[in-house]
Structure 1
Amino acid sequence: MGWLFYTDRRVKSYADEKAEITRLCTFDTDTRETRLVKACKVGSTWYAAAKVTSRDGSPLEDATYVTDADGSIIFGAVFLTRCDDGCWGYKDMEESAGPVDSRAPLSILALLSDLKDPDSYAHAWRQRCRDWAAIPDYEEGDKIRLASPVTLTDGSTCQIVTATYYRRGRQKRRCYRIEETGGLVRLSKGSLAGSILLSSAKGATSPVLAEFVAGQGA
């Protein structure tokens, strides 16, 4: 399915978006009912878990999902969103359709029904979401080695960096200090995949706590 834009500008806020995602995940057929269980927005993308039940209460039969104990199934959905000249629009995909955006929170994945095919698009999508969630969120002062060197705009590379911040107005923004040059660089979360913590800021700045912990083990 392509993009659908609302030219009446009805969607103006986060609350409006969530209400629209809820509406889009709420529909009935002659035999089934679908209702939103949970939705989360990551960047400009909404991730949703929607529950399908039979209208007569009988257990569902589905080619993709294992039926849950109550006879229902819960599937994942992805809603890409953007604004164009003030008009909000979306593109929706069910997880088995092979969506590219793969940053669904673990709280969404935990709700979804098991899959019958371990080689399905949905299974691969869920694994990419788990891989994304597993990327560490480093603290200020943590020294790390990236899985592979990152090429910078001047053609140089860096691989060992230390997490820090710089100020822009009243905001603190995450950046990384390059080991070799001392320069600062912004890194995407994706570039931290597979990185290794070389030294922890907590251990380096808490000698008293380290001594206390060592004494507890004596």
Structure 2
Amino acid sequence: MGWLTMSRYHMGGHATAKAYLDAQFTYTRDVDGAVRGLRLLASSCPQNRTYYAAAQVMEDGVGKEVFAIVCKVLWNPKSKTGEHFGYKDMDESMGPCEDSCPAHILDLLTPTDKEHALDWRRRCRANLARRSRKIDDGDRVKLATALTFSDGHVGDEFIVMKRGRRLSFRDPETRLGYAISRFMDRDWAIVPVTKVHKTIFA
């Protein structure tokens, strides 16, 4: 499906993109004498950019399969053209490019044999594993691909400077500091450092 855009005043009283989409994907209908619909078990819309949900198929009040819904989201409350909100909806069987679904939603999905859905779930799990890698202040890291910075420097090895959750990086030779966007999404490895222990004479 294509994009559907609207003014925030046409969102049925819902104040956020997540609240509107939660309502859109929760429904019941009479179909051939049976009551069918969807029930959302969990949803998330980080930074109002992508919406993820675990939706359970309901038939006559009985829960059936649980699959993932993915929506690309446009959220611009200050839009001067009135296009405050927009979305493009898909389900996991369409193999969405957006693959940052939170673990608590993935954990709710029932087994599937749909190839594109399986590939999407694998990509999401791989991204979660990548972002959960541990890194400490002072670690030396090597990127799989060298980066070129605005000052012309090209480098693939850096010393980590960690302050809480904030990461910055220092070139080990020049000692200059750099910012690396989406670092946890990149391919990198920690460079082993040989530690020299003091010799103690009796």
Q: Give the TM-score range, shorter chain.
A: 0.7 to 0.9
Whether the aligned pair in 2 keeps the contact of 1:146 and 1:192 (CA below 8 Å) is no
- Show the 5 A alignment for 1:125-140: 125-135=120-130, 136=133, 138-140=135-137
- Show the 5 A alignment for 1:137-216: 138-164=135-161, 173-189=166-182, 192-198=185-191
The answer to whether 1:16 aligns with 2:16 is yes
Distance 2:55 2:170 in 1: 43
- Cα distance 1:187–1:21, how it changes in 2: closer, same or farther (>3 A)? same
- Identity score, percent: 30
Residue segments in structure 1 that go unaligned for 5+ positions in a row: 58-70, 205-218
The answer to whether 1:72 aligns with 2:67 is no
Query: 1:39 deviation in Å?
Result: 0.6
Partner of 2:92: 95
Distance 2:157 2:120 in 1: 30
| More moved, 154-163 vs 99-108 | 154-163
Whether the aligned pair in 1 keeps the contact of 2:54 and 2:69 (CA below 8 Å) is yes
Distance 1:14 1:138 in 2: 40
Distance 1:180 1:131 in 2: 33
Whether the aligned pair in 2 keeps the contact of 1:42 and 1:103 (CA below 8 Å) is no
Whether the aligned pair in 1 keeps the contact of 2:136 and 2:162 (CA below 8 Å) is no
Query: 1:27 deviation in Å?
Result: 2.1
CA RMSD of aligned residues (A): 3.0
Residue segments in structure 2 that go unaligned for 5+ positions in a row: 196-202
- Show the 5 A alignment for 1:50-69: 50-55=55-60, 57=62
Match of 1:112 among 90, 96, 109: 109
Distance 1:187 1:82 in 2: 26
TM-score calculated relative to the size of structure 2: 0.75
Distance 1:14 1:53 in 2: 24
Query: 1:180 deviation in Å?
Result: 3.0
- Cα distance 1:142–1:42, how it changes in 2: closer, same or farther (>3 A)? farther
Match of 1:34 among 22, 31, 38: 38
Query: 1:8 deviation in Å?
Result: 4.5
1:5-53, Cα deviation, whole Å (9 max, x unpaired): 2224356x99632321211211234242201110112232111111112
Distance 2:112 2:173 in 1: 47
How many pairs are equivalent?
Answer: 181
